Amino acid sequence: MRAIIRYVFRLFRQHWKLTLGAVVVLLLVGVILIVAGATVWEYTNSTVFCGTTCHTMPPEYAAYKQSPHARVACVDCHLGQESFLAAVPRKAKELRHVYYALSQDYETPIYVKNMRPARETCEKCHNPAKFSADSLKKIVHYLPDPENTPRETFLTLKTGGGTLREGLGRGIHWHIESQVYYLSEDKLHQNIPYVKEVRPDGTVIEYYDLDSGVTPADVAARSAEVRRMDCIDCHNRISHTFQIPQDAVDEAISRNRIDGSLPYIAVKATQLLSGQAGSREESMVEIARLEDWYRLNYPAVYATKKASVQQAVTELQAIFERTYFPDMSIGWSTHPDNLGHKNFPGCFRCHDGKHVSSDGQTIRLECNICHTIPRVTGPGLPAPVIAVEPQNEPESHQDSNWLARHRNEFDITCTGCHSTYNRGGSDNSSFCANSACHGVEWKWAGLDAPGLRAYLPQIPAGEQPPASSEPGTSSFVPRIPHPLTEDRIGQCLTCHGLEGLAPYTPFHVEEGFPLDACTECHELAPGVQ
């Protein structure tokens, strides 16, 4: 051994310059490889690389840039915030997409197939155990009339969160704090026939969609497909947002990017964006015809507001560019957004009122579980009144089938808390004439599911609801749900005058009701002093 060591040292002394040169070269090559490797690694992790290198990615990249996560790197969600050693093999698996892109071995539209669980991605930044206070939300919509009349919908979102241990664990984020599992029938999880809740005490409650035909035996056979609900089940498009045409137009008008004084611009713009089915070039030409429409139908408006019309065309073309991608067969309707329940099933995938448990309870279909009852206002309508927290709800309202029942169970007690003029209408003249509820076709709600009828009380044929809410009938007794001072008349008109708050309704003026005699018709609700 010593002889070998002496030989090495002797060789080094004889050829030290050559040896040192070789070592230096090897070190330089190693440094270059490390720097180059790190540079390539960082570049291929960048959003620019992810969004622009592959020709299939422009739709998702355009949607990403207008999303709330536009400053979050793609790899933070798709690979996860992991160590380098953990990320390398995971990223290596994605090399197959290079082959698919080069060989064009893919179908359009493209959908994500393997998304990591939110607990390994979203929750690296977001803490579901943190409680979030309720937040007020205003939604502005413009009616399809010549004046583009604005309608503002106000509601309070009950975000919630926190843990049961802290006395919280309620609101929308209850779904994440709790153990909720489901089985879906499609790859986009839009059809959910089975839901399971595991309560803190270990109690298991299973809900089956009455119309699905799925049985416990079916669930047992597909147990491997049952997945636990996480953030992405609702926030599935939170990083790749495609606005629907109506929302995009409403936003553009409210931000003055489109002139809201142009006659019928809200409905015309929405129609132009909704009806596009051709190539990009054809769609751009079709949108540009808006200028011809105003020139022919509103020549005086066009003469004075030509620049506004041209600006509207430019804005609509820009909306199209970030919303429609004909070459990839992608538009706002191809990728469902599970937030809400109007344009896609969303919440109604489970909260449709017809997912029933063995004891007859349903997953509640009710407006004020996740937000307050929406209140709509606008020109000529009363100011909105939003109850922060429902008080003194009767026992009937606690029934999980209440929303399906309430339309057939109206009686005089309703007037103690609600203004009931034109009940079931959509003119926003009272609580019961709310256009945010009655003026919308709830396509995915299960209120009329045939199987649900067995769980609801039946009203005998020919029998009407027990009371009328129309003014002037003997059974209509308007109630005042709050205390009054001695100066009752002055107090009433402070809030409920012509320009005051709801529930001041149009029939007071139309029928000539005397405003100096409120308490001649209205009486205090039971329990109010």
Q: How many CB atoms lie within 10 A of CB 197?
A: 18
Percent of the chain exceeding pLDDT 70 equals 81
pLDDT value for 523:
67
Q: Decide: helix, strand or coil at residue 37.
A: helix
The mean pLDDT of 82-99, rounded to a whole number, is 76
pLDDT digits (tens, 9 = 90+) for 100-154: 777 777 888 888 877 788 888 888 888 877 778 888 999 999 999 999 999 999 9
For residue 78, give both structure tokens.
């798709």
Nearest to 342 by CA among 111, 139, 197: 139
182, containing H or E segment? strand 179-183
For residue 116, give both structure tokens.
């990591």
Largest CA distance in the chain: 120
pLDDT greater than 70 at residue 497: no
pLDDT value for 258:
97
* Cα dihedral 298→299→305→309 (10° resolution): 60
pLDDT value for 474:
34
Q: How confident is the model at residue 404 (pLDDT cuts 50, 70, 90)?
A: confident
pLDDT greater than 80 at residue 426: yes
Nearest to 305 by CA among 319, 291, 318, 289: 291
pLDDT greater than 90 at residue 180: yes
The mean pLDDT of 207-220, rounded to a whole number, is 94
pLDDT value for 439:
79
The mean pLDDT of 310-334, rounded to a whole number, is 91
pLDDT value for 327:
85
Mean pLDDT taken over the chain = 82
Distance CA 258, CA 273 (A): 14
The mean pLDDT of 34-56, rounded to a whole number, is 85
Q: Is the distance from CB of 341 to CB of 364 less than 8 angstroms?
A: no
Distance CA 484, CA 523 (A): 11
Which sign does the torsion angle of CA 304, 310, 312, 313 carry?
A: positive
pLDDT greater than 90 at residue 193: yes
pLDDT digits (tens, 9 = 90+) for 257-271: 999 999 999 999 999
DSSP 8-class letter at 442: -
pLDDT greater than 90 at residue 431: no
For residue 282, give both structure tokens.
């054809």
Cβ neighbours for 167, distance < 8 A, ≥ 6 positions apart: none
pLDDT value for 467:
43
Q: What is the pTM of this model?
A: 0.79
Q: How confident is the model at residue 475 (pLDDT cuts 50, 70, 90)?
A: very low
Q: How many CB atoms lie within 10 A of CB 309?
A: 22
pLDDT value for 8:
62
pLDDT greater than 70 at residue 478: no
Identify the weakest region by mean pLDDT among 41-55, 328-342, 417-431, 502-516: 502-516
| DSSP codes, 330-386 | B-TTTS---SSSSSS-GGGGT-SS-EE-TTS-B----GGGTBPPPEEE-TTSPBP--
Percent of the chain exceeding pLDDT 90 equals 30
Cβ neighbours for 47, distance < 8 A, ≥ 6 positions apart: 61, 64, 73, 74
pLDDT value for 346:
94
Distance CA 274, CA 245 (A): 6
Q: How confident is the model at residue 469 (pLDDT cuts 50, 70, 90)?
A: very low
Q: How confident is the model at residue 514 (pLDDT cuts 50, 70, 90)?
A: low
Identify the weakest region by mean pLDDT among 159-163, 305-309, 514-518: 514-518
Distance CA 9, CA 414 (A): 101
pLDDT value for 42:
85
pLDDT greater than 90 at residue 363: yes
Q: How confident is the model at residue 18 (pLDDT cuts 50, 70, 90)?
A: low
Q: Is the distance from CB of 300 to CB of 263 less than 8 angstroms?
A: no
